[in-house]
Chain A
Amino acid sequence: MAILSNAVEMADAGAFSVGLGAMTFIKELNTSGGAVANMTFHHGASSVVLDSTYPIYKFVFSNMHPAGNAVFWLFQANAVGESGFNEQINSSTFRAVNPENSSNGQVDYIASIDQANGTGFQNICSDGDIKTNNDSCISGELLIFNPSSTTFVKQFMASTNHMVNNSQSSDNYINGYFNTTAAIDEFQFKFNSGNIDAGTIKLYGIKDS
């Protein structure tokens, strides 16, 4: 039964007809159950949606804290029906970094972490060095454009900030694309060594009309 107000249909068939906002929360993964080796979002598993339902997906990760010392924060993807997180990535990376104890800030391209059709996990924290100090962590976001496309490569953009070596702020920008026309439906985040000791990753879909 539909719900109408002033002759305007507000809800029907178990769903609202009126707009409730374009950014929809899909799934949260966290470490409330203890440290984990990685966090993986796979379409169709555990209520995750990562298909053509949304044209743009946004991951927001907050206070990712490593169990291992001096590590990097990484992500990769897996195409539909394939195995392994090993899609070809092309990326460019730069950062603005400034130490806590000086004004020696700088902006630079980080050639050591860009990829040229590489299949490894993509570093999204420039030169990394995230320590295990209690207050050390990385936070940021990753946008994925139209991962279900079977025509175009899949563009992505990440913006993160992290504490380097427990003493510097690093503002990191990583752009790139998965060089495949296969649909992508699975994303994994992890540190390059050791577990994720603490942190939360939220997946949002940005609605189509």
Chain B
Amino acid sequence: MGVISNGTTLLDAGALDSGVVTGAMTLIKTVTASTSSTISFVDGASGVVLDDTYKEYIIKFTDVHLGSDDKRFTLQGSIDAGSNYNVNATTSTFRAKHAEDDSGSGFEYTNGHDSDNGTAFFQISDILGSGNNADDCIAGFLQLFNPSSTTFVKHFKGRFNANNTGECIGGFGAGYFNTTSAIDAIQFKADAGNIDAGTFKLYGIK
């Protein structure tokens, strides 16, 4: 039985009617790191949707604290539901940085931390996560555009801010997974050691 208000159907068949306006950003999945070796979002697993349901996905990460000192926060995609994370990716990366003691600042392309059609895990931009300082963390987001396309490469953009042993680093990166296969999983990890803490939220944009 539907719920009708003033002649307008609001609820029916166990769902909001398609005519009911809701927000365009839908939380799909939250994963909380706790001394985790990896953080993964795999379509069809654990309630994750990462297919053609949405044209755009955003993963927001908050208070990511790496378990070991001077390690890097990286990511990769998968075309086989997380069996392998090794998709060819080409990226460009840059950052603006500034020391807490004002001893230096900089704006630079982070050569060596981009990916040249490589299949290894890569960074959004260069940041050494500090595991030794309890209040150090990384926060930001990764936008993934139309990952289910089987026609085009898959573009993404990322941005973060982080503090590492007395330095503020604003990181920016963008690129594409150089494949026409659908990307159906994304994984984050440190280049060595664990992700000690942090919250990762996957959203779909209608």
Q: Which residues of A contact B (CB under 8 A)?
A: 3, 5-8, 10, 18-24, 55-56, 90-94, 107-109, 111, 114-117, 145-146, 149, 151-153, 155-157, 173-177, 179, 181, 206-209
Question: Are A23 and B63 interface neighbours, CB within 8 A?
Answer: no
Interface size (B, Cβ < 8 Å)? 53
Report yes or no: B27 in contact with A19, Cβ–Cβ below 8 A.
Answer: yes
Is chain A's interface secondary structure helix, strand, loop, or mixed overall? strand
Residues of A within 8 A of B137 (CB): 152-153, 155
Residues of A within 8 Å of B98, CB to CB, are 90-92, 114-116
CB contacts (< 8 Å) of A19 on chain B: these are: 22, 26-27
> Once the chains bind, are A117 and B13 in contact (CB under 8 Å)?
no
Q: Which residues of B contact A18 (CB under 8 A)?
A: 15-16
Instruction: Tell me whether B25 and A21 are in contact (CB under 8 A).
Output: yes
Docked Cα-Cα span, A22 to B203, in Å, equals 8
Q: Which of A6, A107, A155 has the most CB of B within 10 A?
A: A155
* Interface contact A5-B14, CB-CB below 8 Å: yes
Q: What does DSSP make chain B's interface, helix, strand, loop or mixed?
A: strand
Identify the interface centre among A24, A114, A179: most chain B CB within 10 Å of its CB: A114
B51 to chain A, nearest CB (A): 18
Query: Residues of B at under 8 Å CB distance from A?
Result: 1-3, 11-16, 22-27, 29-30, 60, 62-63, 65, 95-102, 105-107, 134-140, 159-163, 167-172, 199, 201, 203
* Chain A residue nearest to B134 in the complex (CB): A151
Task: Indicate if the CB atoms of A157 and B105 lie closer than 8 Å.
Answer: no
Interface pair A5/B11, CB less than 8 Å apart: yes
Contacts of A181 in B (CB 8 A): 135
A116–B98 CA distance with the chains assembled, in angstroms = 7
Nearest 3 A-B pairs (CB), nearest first?
A21-B23, A175-B170, A6-B14
Q: Is the CB of A56 within 8 A of B62?
A: yes
Contacts of A56 in B (CB 8 A): 60, 62
- Highest count of chain B CB atoms <10 Å: which of A7, A93, A149, A152: A152
Nearest B residue to A6 via CB reads B14
- Asked if residues A145 and B62 are in contact (CB atoms below 8 Å), the reply is yes
Given contacts A94-B107, A153-B163, 20 further A-B contacts (CB under 8 A): A19-B22, A20-B16, A22-B27, A23-B25, A55-B201, A90-B167, A92-B105, A92-B107, A92-B170, A114-B105, A116-B101, A116-B102, A151-B63, A155-B138, A157-B161, A173-B96, A179-B100, A181-B135, A208-B201, A209-B29
Residues of B within 8 A of A7 (CB): 14
